[in-house]
Each structure stands twice: as C-alpha cells, then as structure tokens.
Amino acid sequence: MPPQPPAPPVFYSFPTTDVLVDSLANFVVKAQRDAVEKRGKFTIALSRGSLAANLKGLVGQENVQWDKWEVFFCDEAAVPLDSEDSNYHSNVLSFLSDVPIPPNQIHTVDVSQLQDLEELADEYEKQLIGHFARSNAARYPTFDLMLLGIGPDGETASLFPGHELLTEKDAWVAYLDDAPRGPKRRITMTLPVLTHCYRAVFVVSGSEKAEMLHAVLDEPEKGLPSSKVRPASPGLVFFFADNAASGLTKYPPTAFRWIDNEKEAEEAVAAAKRKAARRAEEGEE
C-alpha cells in the first residue's frame, strides 16, 4: 500500500504581529495539551533567528504544564551558549528564562565539543536517541511540535538551498562549516527529522519576508528547503504570518482555529480555496 500523501499546508494570516504572537502562544499550549494527553510529555524543537522573538507570548500563559516540556533546538551555532549567535541564548532571552521548565529538560549542545563539529553533531544526535528511543522505535524521532523560520533564501533550520545536507537520509543531526550567512560553523537537524514530526509550524513576520513566503507557499516546485517540510502522515504543517509578510502570497489563508488531524486540514484548506474562488468571481463581476 503506497504511503498517504502529506496533508496540505494550513496558512494563517494575522492583522498584526501582536495578534500572531498571541495566536501562536495559544496554538503551542494546545499542542502541548494534546501531546501530554496522548503521550505524557511534550517534545518541542526551537529554531534560531527571528522566531524566538515571536515566542514571548508563552510567558504568563495559564494551564501550561512546563514540567512536561522537553526542549530541543532545530539547529545551533558552534558558539558558547551565552553568545548572541546561539539559538539557545536567543530563546532564553525571549521566553525560556521566564518559564519554569526544569533545566535538565532543556537539551543544549555540549560546549566542550565546539571545536569538533562532527563530535558536536554526533553528541546532540545521541541526546535525541536517548530521549526518543525509549518511546519511539521509528527510524526518526517524532517531535510533537517543531517551530521553524524561513530564511532570506528559503532556508529553514540550517538547511540551505542547494546544500548537500538536503539529501542526508541517515543522520538525525548533521554539521556544516559553510553557512552562507551568520555563523559558518553549525549543526542542524536534517530534513527527515523535520518531516516526521506531528506538527511543524513556520512563523513569518515583516514585509521583508513577503517575497520568500510567496515563493515557499505558491511555488513549491522551486524546491526551497522550507517548501520541502511536508510532514509524513499523520503530521501537519502550518504557516503563521502577519499581514506584512503575507501580502504577496496567493495561497488562501484559513481562519485561525485548532486543527487536529489530516482530514480537518484538508477540509480547512479546501474551504479556504472555495472562499478565495468566490471572491475572485465577485471581483470580476
């Protein structure tokens, strides 16, 4: 029996960044509740860059079971944890320092390995294996939620267009020493990990992201790394954008609500497309 095709992306567009931040926090808390009810814990992976600033809405949220969180990082620069280039550090500044997640449940790179990228990546992969092997016998780890950004060239995590790491099939974590922007030396979770989560969420804000969001959602045939993140069944992928970022995107937005499964995602996207078609017909009259 052939594998079921991935569910279509669900696209949410919000009038302002503040509304996006509040809605994202609401979504993350619901994803946590769903994961804890079904699996007893909440495994989340965080990305670097502007995404961290959009997580500040989590601070002060009620009904959050912080003691159930297991926090990993989609990618990380080979820098000390207090460096401004550190993914961990940016998320500490945004929200991790203000919420009571037990420190041993925030999984960082081993800074003693910063000079050896291969060892740095291998050690972080061993952390993933140690955590997921107990509860998940699948070939790849299955995160409850992966929070991702879209870079200027369509990259996500530290997976860049045309880079050989995009074809990596075996490793869960790989390294690169030739990142085209920012710190050159990094480790990153690989594409198979990103496409085996229960929910992947891209968060995009600001007019400078408008052209790239349009390319990722409207022109997936370009094969940009962010377009390739289509989680295997039963996984789902969502795009959260403010109006400034979504101004050029033709992919129809869905009214913001919790979507629990592939069937609901397909129905929501189909309804959004019908609504967009009606508006287009009305505009031609």
Rounded to a whole number, what is the distance in angstroms from the first to the last CA of the chain? 46
> Which one-letter DSSP state was computed for residue 9?
P
8 Å CB contact between 68 and 181: no
Averages of pLDDT over runs of 10 residues in the chain (285 residues) are 82 96 94 95 89 84 92 97 95 92 96 97 95 73 96 96 95 96 96 96 96 97 96 94 96 94 93 88 66
Q: What is the largest CA-CA distance in the chain?
A: 67
CB 150 within 8 A of CB 213: yes
Q: Which domain holds residue 228?
A: 10-251
What is the CB-side half-sphere exposure of residue 79 using CA atoms within 13 A?
Answer: 16
Q: Is residue 265 part of a domain?
A: no
Residue 184 belongs to some domain of the structure: yes
pLDDT for the residue numbered 54:
84
Distance of CA 229 to the CA centre of its chain: 9
> Is residue 276 situated within a structural domain?
no
Instruction: Judge whether 282 lies within some domain.
Output: no
Residue 281 placed within a domain: no
Is residue 257 domain-resident?
A: no
Edge-to-edge order in the sheet of strand 236-242 = 10-14, 236-242, 199-204, 145-148, 42-46, 69-73
Q: pLDDT digits over 169-187, tens only?
A: 999 999 999 999 999 999 9
Q: Is residue 238 part of a domain?
A: yes
Q: What is the pLDDT of residue 136?
A: 54
Rounded distance between C-alpha atoms, residue 43 and residue 197, angstroms = 10
Q: Is residue 285 part of a domain?
A: no
Q: For the chain, what is the domain count? A: 1
> For residue 247, what pLDDT is reported?
95
User: What's the pTM value of the predicted model, to 2 decimals?
Assistant: 0.95
How far CA 278 is from CA of 164, 271, 272, in Å, comes to 43, 11, 10
Distances (CA, A) of 171 to 154, 227, 262: 22, 21, 27
CATH number, position 17: 3.40.50.1360
